[in-house]
Amino acid sequence: MNETMQTIHARRSVRAYEDKALDRETVDAIVRAAMRSPTAGNMMLYSIIEVADQGIKDQLVKSCDNQPFIARAPLVLLFLADYQRWFDVYQNSGVAQYCREQGMGYRTPGEGDLMLAACDALIAAQTAVIAAEALGIGSCYIGDILENFEFHKELFGLPHYVLPITMLCFGYPTPKAAQRTLTPRFPQEVIHFRDRYQRVGRAELEDMLKNREPAKYAKNAANMGQHMYARKFGADFSVEMTRSMKAALTSWTATPE
């Protein structure tokens, strides 16, 4: 296995960091690596905010489901779906008039454009993760940035066509965090199909979950399905995330003021 594959297979989420800052050269190296990510049509439909202000980090602890390690992370990067930059180009380039002259329809960014921009942002984020790993720096995704859309929009001064997609915390892992056991993944056969989607049957579903730790079952949960529903899908944070994303989509598709 070559060095790149070893880096990918050894990656784990890191939430405990050494009290050691990342120097400017290292931060820039991670960001520049992210900027070399594949991107739809080379449009780079994303932006990255480096969250350096401790006061903002402290607020993110609360708005992202009370995760104290966010405040202690030496580097926090917020990845945004960003169609505002190109829409500003269109407006500044007289595109509306051009469309009238050419008999073309003129439109504003819609749901498909948001999905494309979200993919761009996530690809850039994962490239940053691998770049950091190659430098001995651990990371952890904060999906909870999808919650509290209105608060985060105001906190970061986001314009109409910019939405938070994911956030990453980075830092040099503590010795214990660096040795944390890798979490199991599902068997390849329930993830990797050929030519057509394959619905997984009950027996295969049970086999898929057999490596998950039964001791972590929630109270009154008889099996992993019940446990995961209570802990994840049916939890308050998941309900809020759905509400928040509905609000974000409504905002995105509304006519700009």
Note the pLDDT of residue 221. 81
- pLDDT-based confidence at residue 209 (cuts at 50, 70, 90): confident
Q: Tens digit of pLDDT for each residue in 54-88?
A: 999 999 999 999 999 999 999 999 999 999 999 99
Reply yes or no on whether the pLDDT at 111 is more than 90. Answer: yes
Examine the pLDDT at 106 and tell me if it is beyond 90.
yes
pLDDT of res. 39: 98
**What are the tokens at 152?**
């985060």
Cβ atoms within 10 Å of 14's Cβ, excluding its own: 23
Give the confidence band of 199 by pLDDT, cuts at 50, 70, 90. very high
pLDDT score of 255: 86
Please give the radius of gyration of the chain, using alpha carbons only, rounded to the nearest integer: 21
Residue 41 has pLDDT above 80, yes or no: yes
171-192 confidence digits (pLDDT tens): 999 999 999 889 889 999 999 9
For the record, the structure tokens of 121 come out as 């942002």
- Position 4 scores a pLDDT of 93
Residue 218 has pLDDT above 70, yes or no: no
The pTM of this model reads 0.95
- pLDDT confidence tier of residue 212, bands split at 50, 70 and 90: confident
pLDDT at 140 over 90: yes
Hey, how many other C-beta atoms are within 10 angstroms of the C-beta on 255?
6
Q: What is the pLDDT of residue 223?
A: 84
Higher pLDDT, 51 or 226: 51
Report strand pairing: 162-171 vs 75-82: antiparallel
The backbone torsions φ and ψ at residue 76, rounded to the nearest 5 degrees and listed phi first, read -125, 125
Burial 67-89 (b: 16+ CB within 10 A, else e): beebbebbbbbbbbbbbbbbbee
- Give, in order, the Cα–Cα distances in Å from 138 to each of 13, 22, 73, 219, 237: 7, 11, 10, 32, 25
Q: Is the pLDDT of residue 141 over 60?
A: yes
Residues sharing a CB contact under 8 Å with residue 141, sequence separation 6 or more, in sequence order: 13, 125, 129, 166, 167, 168
Instruction: Determine which of 80-84, 102-106, 174-178, 205-209 has the lowest per-residue pLDDT on average.
Output: 205-209
CATH 3.40.220.10 assigned to 3-183 = no
Asked if the model's pLDDT at residue 89 lies above 70, the reply is yes
Domain parsing of the chain, residue ranges: 3-183
132 phi/psi in degrees, rounded to 5: -65, -45
Cα gap 143→201, rounded to integer Å: 29
Q: Write out the E strands in 17-175.
A: 46-50, 75-82, 138-142, 162-171
3-state secondary structure of 202: helix
Distance CA 238, CA 220 (A): 20
